Amino acid sequence: MMSSVWPLQKDCLAFYGDPRQASWLHDNTVDVPCPWPLQMGDLAIAHILIHKKCAESLARVLNNIWEATGKSLKTIQQLRYDRYDGSYNLRRVRGSATAMSMHAFAAAIDWDAADNAQHAQKHLFHDDSLLVVKFNNEGWIWGGDWSPGSIDAMHVQAARVHP
């Protein structure tokens, strides 16, 4: 059962605020601790920077994944859910002159980019992957469901693409 209904991407400026404003990052984001250690390359990451409106949902997702794996770090590592590739990044959608990326709103997360390359037809994550299922249960959108030219299997976001 879905717990959250996120805005359409086109409505994110009104819903999340304007990330280009000077105080936006400080006023609108929080750190959500991950129950297991994350790795970004060689860097250990203890938390995920996310929009305040997404924080409770993200915490539920992470805790649900942790519980479903039996709180096993070995299982998390085997599934490669410890491979974190970022959340907040103030930038436009790749290839767009105007549209803000969902990462700019701190409402998107990338997981294991090495095994889930953008636009790749073959990737580690699938519709039935625990991570994808738990994010979908919270209403997050998985980039692996996008059209073949737009597939982004590493990406989850708290914004709908279609009504």
15/74 Cα distance (integer angstroms): 38
134/112 Cα distance (integer angstroms): 16
Task: Read off the tokens for 64.
Answer: 């649900």
CATH 1.10.3710 for domain 9-157: no
- How many Å separate Cα 34 from the centre of its chain? 13
pTM value > 0.95: no
44/52 Cα distance (integer angstroms): 23
108/104 Cα distance (integer angstroms): 8
The tens-digit pLDDT sequence of the chain (163 residues) is 345 789 999 999 999 999 999 999 999 999 999 999 999 999 999 999 999 999 999 999 999 999 999 999 999 999 999 999 999 999 887 777 778 999 999 999 999 999 888 878 788 899 999 999 999 999 999 998 888 888 888 999 999 988 8
